[in-house]
Amino acid sequence: MADFQTDGKWCYIVFWVVQRSNSLRLDWDSLKNRLLIVSPPCLAPLYYDHKLNGSTAAPSVYLLKFCCVDRKGLLHDITEVLTELEFTIQRLKVMTTPDEKVVDLFFITDGRELLHTKERRDNTCGYLCDVFKEYCISCELQLAGPECENQRTFSSLPMAVAEELFSCELSEKESCTQALGTATTPPKKAIVTVDNLLSPAHTLLQIQCVDQKGLFYDILRTSKDLNIQVAYGRFSSSIKGYHNMDLLIRQTDGKKIVDPELLANTCSRLKEEMLHPLRVIITNRGPDTELLVANPVELCGKGRPRVFYDVTLTLKKLGICIFSAEIGRHSTQDRQWEVYRFLLDENCDVPLASSQARNQIVDRIRRTLMGW
């Protein structure tokens, strides 16, 4: 559950949270510190400083070069350690050599903002070497240079692949949604109701959607993308697998939304982002099999949290090895996407050439990402 409200200067937010997974140890003190870091300074309205006006500076990006002997599930195990250490993977390049060694280039930022200290860098490399022991060959961590910018994008996706990955329009919502489920799973729905009579100053949006990971994030991310100000919101706990959310919203000029076309576009966009926040396909890349996962990039340039972690975890559970991986950006007409590309190793128990096996892999990955 969650409640939040704002008067345009101050924002008050209350979350009731439950840790559903025991796979990761949650450090509540560290979580509190990270929330304080991303929150605006509480004295900003009283003591104006032109340096604080506008967005905060982006965190420094560091390059982790990790070389080790290859083994099944290695990439996820490294990702799990980096997550435990509170690093965020911004970019990635993973290569497997013919002699069964792996060279991993992780472009990371630090949730604790301590990587500028030698102690934090040494402790990170030392911890990685301790965890992977005889598999570890070398580990280096340093401030990223110009190569970081070179990793921001990769070569353009083939036109046919890009069309398949980004072609799920809202007009196809019902058919696309049906494809997400199985014969035993009901189709997922999203309902958005508009009320302009309840409040003289705000438009009320009443939202109902199936319970899924990141739902609260997707609704507020979309509101931000549409330049909608949320004055008050209430996010209820799941009831029979569905969440209900009430939002009192207005435009950036402080007025309620009365234009029918703008309201229709807002509702349509919210439904699309709730039903299809991620795109997952498996395609052929020459003679090889490639998995692609894409999610929209926020206006501030951030990608969706934990996507890489969830995808590598699913592939590990399925017994599928990753030959190479990279993260980059792809631009379509109206937005930018973060795209994860995984070249899958054919030497596994799963017949990757089979359409049925590919559909099962896509379904498992999507379910993990959505928390179903």
SS3 372: coil
**Which residues 6+ apart lie within 8 Å of 41 measured at CB?**
52
Q: Is there a contact between 32 and 113 (Cβ–Cβ < 8 Å)?
A: no
Q: Please return the burial class of 87, using the count of CB atoms within 10 Å of its CB with bins 0-12, 13-18 and 19+.
A: buried
Q: How far is CA 134 from CA 323, 328, 355, 372, in A?
A: 21, 31, 38, 37
CATH topology of domain 59-151: Alpha-Beta Plaits (3.30.70)
Residue 150: per-residue pLDDT: 52
d(CA 151, CA 227): 30
Residue-averaged pLDDT of the chain? 83
List the Cα angle 337/340/343 in 5-degree steps. Answer: 145
pLDDT at position 186: 45
Residue 96 pLDDT exceeds 90 = no
* Domain covering 191-275, topology: Alpha-Beta Plaits (3.30.70)
Beta bridge mates, 245: 207, 235
Which residue, chain included where needed, has tokens 């990608």?
303
Report which of 49, 155, 47, 41 is spatially closest to residue 93, judged by C-alpha positions.
155
What integer is the mean pLDDT of 41-61? 54
Q: Indicate if the pLDDT at residue 10 is higher than 60.
A: yes
Question: Which amino acid, one-letter code, is at 69?
Answer: V
**CATH 3.30.70.260 region(s) of the chain?**
59-151, 191-275
Query: Where would I find the H helices in 28-172?
Result: 28-38, 74-84, 118-132, 147-150, 159-166
Contact 343, 323 (CB under 8 A): yes
What CATH code would you report for 278-371?
3.30.70
Entry pTM: 0.82
Strands (E), 2-86: 2-6, 11-15, 62-69
pLDDT in tens, 291-330: 999 999 988 888 888 899 999 999 999 999 888 888 888 8
Q: pLDDT of 132-190, one tens digit each? A: 999 999 999 999 876 565 555 555 788 888 888 887 544 444 434 333 444 334 456 88
11 pLDDT more than 70: yes
Q: What is the mean pLDDT of residues 71-80?
A: 91
Q: 3-state DSSP call for residue 317?
A: helix
What local confidence, expressed as pLDDT, does residue 349 receive? Answer: 77
